Amino acid sequence: MYELRDVTKRYTRGKETVDALDGVDLTIGDGDRLVIQGPTGGGKSTLLQMLGGLDRPTSGSVVFDGTDLATLSESKLTKVRSENIGFVFQSFNLIPTLTALENVETALVPLKVQGRQRRERAAAALESVGLAERLGHLPAELSGGQQQRVAIARALVKQPKVLLADEPTGNLDESMRDEIMEVLESLWKEHGLTFIMVTHDSTIAKRAPRLVTIRQGRITVQENANS
């Protein structure tokens, strides 16, 4: 699925340069489940952005399904992203004026899924995260945990090959954190999709088949034989 070779990402601000990623090699197979952890500023989000084609490496290659994302034009990259990659962020990024159903439907617009089919797929995705009763609610009428579940449904509705989640429970209080982790864990088990999550949740990290730790832009990978 992914083949990262000697990926570096250098940010320059005035005279200061930061190697957010410093020679990362990583292979991720179809259906792999991977947790990324490490200290703040270590490069976790930068790595996720590379995997998601949201940004380009300074050097090195990020091959996704046989294509080096770094070589794609902006429009081709957008197409790869909208068809194959689902994102969940710490901030839910829902459109406040759209209902839960409409927010989820937005992910199907670039795929040209329309009308009743679009509504039905969006409703089914919301049902799969336990929100069947909340289709017509606006984000402001939902709890934080429910809003994040809408965002998860939006990421999954296009049936992506990969789900990328960057600290998905970072903005939630403890009870909602558990709620979201339960939803993610059950999706993680039920779907065959490749699942890459940045999290500080040590319970999840312990159960992850592969744990990537990133510090100062360099990774170490641990395989967990027990999961």
Q: Would you tell me which residues interact with ligand ADP (CB under 6 A)?
A: 11, 13, 18, 20, 38, 40-46
Binding mask 134-173 for Mg ion (x = CB under 5 A): ----------------------------------------
3-state secondary structure of 122: helix
Give residue 47's Cα distance to chain centre: 11
In 66-190, beta strands by DSSP E: 67-68, 85-88, 162-166
Q: Nearest distance from residue 24's CB to ligand ADP, in Å?
A: 12
Beta bridge partner(s), residue 53: none
The C-alpha atoms of residue 11 and residue 214 are separated, in whole angstroms, by: 17
Q: Nearest distance from residue 16's CB to ligand ADP, in Å?
A: 8
The C-alpha atoms of residue 209 and residue 34 are separated, in whole angstroms, by: 7
Specify the residue, 13 or 112, whose C-beta has the smaller distance to ligand ADP. Answer: 13
Please give the size of the binding site for Mg ion, defined by CB under 5 A. 2
Taken in order 170, 87, 5, 31, the sign of the CA dihedral is: positive
Binding mask 38-57 for Mg ion (x = CB under 5 A): ------xx------------
Specify the residue, 36 or 152, whose C-beta has the smaller distance to ligand ADP. Answer: 36
Q: Nearest distance from residue 197's CB to Mg ion, in Å?
A: 12
Specify the residue, 89 or 195, whose C-beta has the smaller distance to ligand ADP. Answer: 89
Q: Nearest distance from residue 90's CB to Mg ion, in Å?
A: 8
The C-alpha atoms of residue 76 and residue 187 are separated, in whole angstroms, by: 28
